[in-house]
Chain A
Amino acid sequence: MKVAVTGLNNTDNPGPGVPVIRSILNHPDFSGEIIGLHYDNLEPGIYMDGIKSRSYMIPYPSQGPESLLERLRYIHSKENIDVIIPTLDSELYNFIHISDELAVLGIKTFLPTTDNLEKRSKDKLFEFCEENEIDSPKTFVINSLTQVNEILKEINYPIVVKGIFYEAYICYTFDEVSTNFYKIASKWGLPIIIQEYLVGDEVNVAAVGDGEGNTIGAVAMRKLFITDKGKGWAGVTIGDDKLIDLTHKVINALKWRSGLELEILKSKKDGKYYLLEINSRLPAWVYLTQAAGQNLPYYILQLALGEKVEPVREYEIGKMFIRCSIDLISDMKTYEKLSVYGEL
């Protein structure tokens, strides 16, 4: 069997590709090859030993689904791929768009639906939470700074100013709101999201949904060390039935298909869990889940292959990960092959 996986950018802001691959390779039932799909010739996963048999460059998501399909047709003609597992948010729309064509080629996927992606988007999440009685910080979607005064009648400073895709700033005054509003708008465009600021501890849950409302697996983790980019550099699995029940509720309400990550805050004020964000892919710390007893990437592979996967609830609490930064050695001949032929 050949499984192609994207997201080999194992940098200080790592993509989930390498941990997804390592999880699949670790499963005792897996026998096959991994084909890497990369966007940049310097993605570290290309150079790591024991990760992939070969790797191919694919066009950036901004080039659209047609060029992706054309490139995948070429790669498929050489590799005869059985399953593709995309691991990055930004590429999902393109893969969903071409999933029927991939199926005709005999390439299986297990992707979220467009409806899944739209309902969890940052500007719709609060609405989704209200409809489904899920606690979430009060959120307002604005296109103009003049709307902020109205919002301040409902929530108090500090407030969080967030971009529609990335970036978030805690603001204590209108001046700070104004500065960050324009800073984010110039980078990511409008609308801007204004959110109530809650004090508490953030926890994360990685999970897989079967698309029919069932949660196949879910593992909760608390970050023990966070980099200056806000990425977890170490973490530990934690167990709390309320947290896992909340995950099941979210997956059931969305009929979520494939992997996701929930960002949740346990409020210091009332001890309740508040849903902050839903990321539409497995997280970069997903290798921890297989160590704790739930191989979430392998479940996605099984679901893509049409296999029946029994839901699992239990996992080991207190399992830790610590990320490691090492230098891989390569040479310009390797880089040359990647640059000239787009494959290795």
Chain B
Amino acid sequence: MKLNKNLAISESGFAFNGSTGDSFLLNETATFIISKIKSNLSREEILDALIKEFDVNPITAEKDLIDFLNQLRTFDLLED
């Protein structure tokens, strides 16, 4: 997975897509997932990291991860 190269993300969780002008506010979980995508982790590795970091059951974590990745795709922010 690769993030759209035009996506700029600040430490505050503010994300700006420089090719479309869209901006987004990321919550803590979203910021965490984005940082892992940036570190070139696979989906399975991100899922493991999520479970460890947020002490959440695997089913909820996987559902949330899939939802968020789909949102990124909808906004053209993820290149598979």
Interchain CB contact under 8 A, A201 and B20: yes
A27 to B8, CA, bound (A): 30
- The residues of A that contact B18 with a CB separation of less than 8 Å are 238-239, 317-318
Is A131 on the interface with B (CB-CB < 8 A)?
Answer: no
A21 to B20, CA, bound (A): 29
Is A240 on the interface with B (CB-CB < 8 A)?
Answer: yes
A261 to B6, CA, bound (A): 24
Interchain CB contact under 8 A, B19 and A224: no
Identity of the chain B residue whose Cβ is nearest the Cβ of A241 in the assembled complex = B19
Q: In the assembled complex, how far is the CB of residue A226 from the closest CB belonging to chain B, in whole angstroms? A: 13
Q: Among B20, B21, B76, find the residue whose CB has the most chain A CB atoms closer than 10 A.
A: B21
Is A222 on the interface with B (CB-CB < 8 A)?
Answer: yes
Is B32 on the interface with A (CB-CB < 8 A)?
Answer: no
Interchain CB contact under 8 A, B19 and A239: yes
Which parts of B26-69 form the interface with A (CB within 8 Å)? Answer: none
Q: In the assembled complex, how far is the CB of residue A313 from the closest CB belonging to chain B, in whole angstroms? A: 15
Identity of the chain B residue whose Cβ is nearest the Cβ of A316 in the assembled complex = B18
- The residues of B that contact A318 with a CB separation of less than 8 Å are 8, 16, 18
A266 to B19, CA, bound (A): 11
Interchain CB contact under 8 A, B21 and A240: no
Q: How many A residues, CB 8 Å from partner?
A: 14
Which parts of A51-110 form the interface with B (CB within 8 Å)? Answer: none
Interchain CB contact under 8 A, B8 and A240: no
Identity of the chain B residue whose Cβ is nearest the Cβ of A266 in the assembled complex = B20
Identity of the chain B residue whose Cβ is nearest the Cβ of A243 in the assembled complex = B19
Which parts of A201-253 form the interface with B (CB within 8 Å)? Answer: 201, 203, 221-222, 224, 235-236, 238-240
Of the four ranges (under 10, 10 to 19, 20 to 34, 35 or more), the interface on chain B belongs to under 10
Which parts of A252-272 form the interface with B (CB within 8 Å)? Answer: 266, 271
Interchain CB contact under 8 A, B20 and A238: yes
Identity of the chain A residue whose Cβ is nearest the Cβ of B18 in the assembled complex = A317
- The residues of B that contact A235 with a CB separation of less than 8 Å are 21
Interchain CB contact under 8 A, A238 and B8: no
Q: Among B19, B20, B76, find the residue whose CB has the most chain A CB atoms closer than 10 A.
A: B19
A224 to B23, CA, bound (A): 10
Identity of the chain B residue whose Cβ is nearest the Cβ of A317 in the assembled complex = B18
Interchain CB contact under 8 A, B19 and A240: yes
Q: In the assembled complex, how far is the CB of residue A205 from the closest CB belonging to chain B, in whole angstroms? A: 13
A201 to B20, CA, bound (A): 9
Interchain CB contact under 8 A, B16 and A222: no
Identity of the chain A residue whose Cβ is nearest the Cβ of B21 in the assembled complex = A222
Q: In the assembled complex, how far is the CB of residue A339 from the closest CB belonging to chain B, in whole angstroms? A: 43
Identity of the chain A residue whose Cβ is nearest the Cβ of B8 in the assembled complex = A318
Which parts of B1-21 form the interface with A (CB within 8 Å)? Answer: 6, 8, 16, 18-21
- The residues of A that contact B19 with a CB separation of less than 8 Å are 238-240
| B interface residues (Cβ-Cβ under 8 A, vs A) | 6, 8, 16, 18-21, 76
Extra A-B contacts (17), CB below 8 Å, given A222-B20, A239-B19: A201-B20, A203-B21, A221-B21, A235-B21, A238-B18, A238-B19, A238-B21, A239-B18, A240-B19, A240-B20, A266-B20, A271-B76, A317-B6, A317-B18, A318-B8, A318-B16, A318-B18
| A interface residues (Cβ-Cβ under 8 A, vs B) | 201, 203, 221-222, 224, 235-236, 238-240, 266, 271, 317-318
15 residue pairs of the A-B complex, CB under 8 angstroms, read A201-B20, A203-B21, A221-B21, A222-B20, A222-B21, A224-B21, A238-B18, A238-B20, A238-B21, A239-B18, A266-B20, A271-B76, A317-B18, A318-B8, A318-B16
